[in-house]
Structure 1
Amino acid sequence: MTPQGNATADATAQAVTGSPRPSSTWTGWGQWLALITMTVDHLSRYIVPDAWELGWAGSSIGRIAFPLFAAMVAWHGLFNTRNPLRYARRILVIGLVAQLPYMLMPRASDALILNICFTLSLGLTGGVWLRGLSARLAAGTLGPPRLVAEAAVALGVWWLAGLWVEYGHHGLLMIPLYMLAMQYLHLAGSALVDRLKATAMALPVLAVAGLMNSSDIAKSFTVATCLAALLLAAGAHRLTPAVPMAMPRRLWLAWYPGHFAAMALWLWLVGQLG
Structure 2
Amino acid sequence: MTDVAPARAGVDRTRPSSAWTGWGQWLALITMTTDHLSRYLLPASWEMGWAGSSIGRIAFPLFAAMVAWHGLFNTRNPLRYARRILVIGLVAQLPYMLMPRASDALILNICFTLSLGLTGGSWLQGLPTRIATGTLGQGRLVAEVAAALGLWWLAGFWVEYEHYGLLLIPLYMLAMQRLHLAGESLPERLQAAALALPVLVVAGLMNSSDMAKSFTVATCLAMLLLAAGAHKAMPAVPTAMPRRLWLAWYPAHFVAIALWLWVDGRLAAGV
Task: Supply the distance in 2 between the matched residues of 1:103 and 1:31 (Cα, whole angstroms).
Answer: 24
Task: Supply the distance in 1 between the matched residues of 2:188 and 2:90 (Cα, whole angstroms).
Answer: 41
Residue-by-residue CA offset, 1:219-247 (whole Å, 9 max, x unaligned) = 00000000000000000000001111000
**Alignment of 1:139 onto 2:157:** no
Task: Supply the distance in 2 between the matched residues of 1:147 and 1:263 (Cα, whole angstroms).
Answer: 46
Instruction: Tell me the residue number matched to 1:184.
Output: 178
Q: Normalising to structure 1: TM-score of the pair?
A: 0.93
Instruction: Tell me the residue number matched to 2:257.
Output: 263
Structure 2 counterpart SS, 1:87: helix
Instruction: Tell me the residue number matched to 2:223.
Output: 229
The one-letter code sitting in structure 2 at the alignment partner of 1:223 is: V
**Alignment of 1:159 onto 2:148:** no
Residue 273 of structure 1 and its aligned partner are, at CA, apart by 1.0
Task: Supply the distance in 2 between the matched residues of 1:141 and 1:114 (Cα, whole angstroms).
Answer: 34
2:198 to 197, 204, 210: 204
**Alignment of 1:107 onto 2:101:** yes
Identity across the alignment (%): 80
Instruction: Tell me the residue number matched to 1:174.
Output: 168
1:98 to 62, 85, 92: 92
Kept in 1: contact 2:24–2:66 (CA 8 A): yes
Aligned length: 263
Unaligned runs of 5+ in 2: none
The one-letter code sitting in structure 2 at the alignment partner of 1:162 is: G
Task: Supply the distance in 2 between the matched residues of 1:195 and 1:140 (Cα, whole angstroms).
Answer: 29
Instruction: Tell me the residue number matched to 1:248.
Output: 242
Task: Supply the distance in 1 between the matched residues of 2:33 and 2:135 (Cα, whole angstroms).
Answer: 46
Kept in 1: contact 2:38–2:48 (CA 8 A): yes
Task: Supply the distance in 1 between the matched residues of 2:22 and 2:192 (Cα, whole angstroms).
Answer: 25
Residue 66 of structure 1 and its aligned partner are, at CA, apart by 0.1
Q: Normalising to structure 2: TM-score of the pair?
A: 0.94
The one-letter code sitting in structure 1 at the alignment partner of 2:242 is: P
Question: RMSD between aligned alpha carbons?
Answer: 1.6
Task: Supply the distance in 1 between the matched residues of 2:134 and 2:167 (Cα, whole angstroms).
Answer: 26
The one-letter code sitting in structure 1 at the alignment partner of 2:45 is: A
User: Which segments of structure 1 move beyond 3 Å, counting only runs of 4 or more?
Assistant: 138-141
**Alignment of 1:32 onto 2:26:** yes
Task: Supply the distance in 2 between the matched residues of 1:219 and 1:170 (Cα, whole angstroms).
Answer: 13
Kept in 1: contact 2:14–2:181 (CA 8 A): no
Instruction: Tell me the residue number matched to 1:21.
Output: 15
Residue-by-residue CA offset, 1:121-153 (whole Å, 9 max, x unaligned) = 000000011011122223343222111100000
Task: Supply the distance in 2 between the matched residues of 1:56 and 1:139 (Cα, whole angstroms).
Answer: 51
Task: Supply the distance in 2 between the matched residues of 1:44 and 1:140 (Cα, whole angstroms).
Answer: 52
Task: Supply the distance in 2 between the matched residues of 1:200 and 1:101 (Cα, whole angstroms).
Answer: 40
Unaligned runs of 5+ in 1: none
Task: Supply the distance in 2 between the matched residues of 1:120 and 1:171 (Cα, whole angstroms).
Answer: 8
Residue-by-residue CA offset, 1:229-267 (whole Å, 9 max, x unaligned) = 000000000000111100000000000000000000000
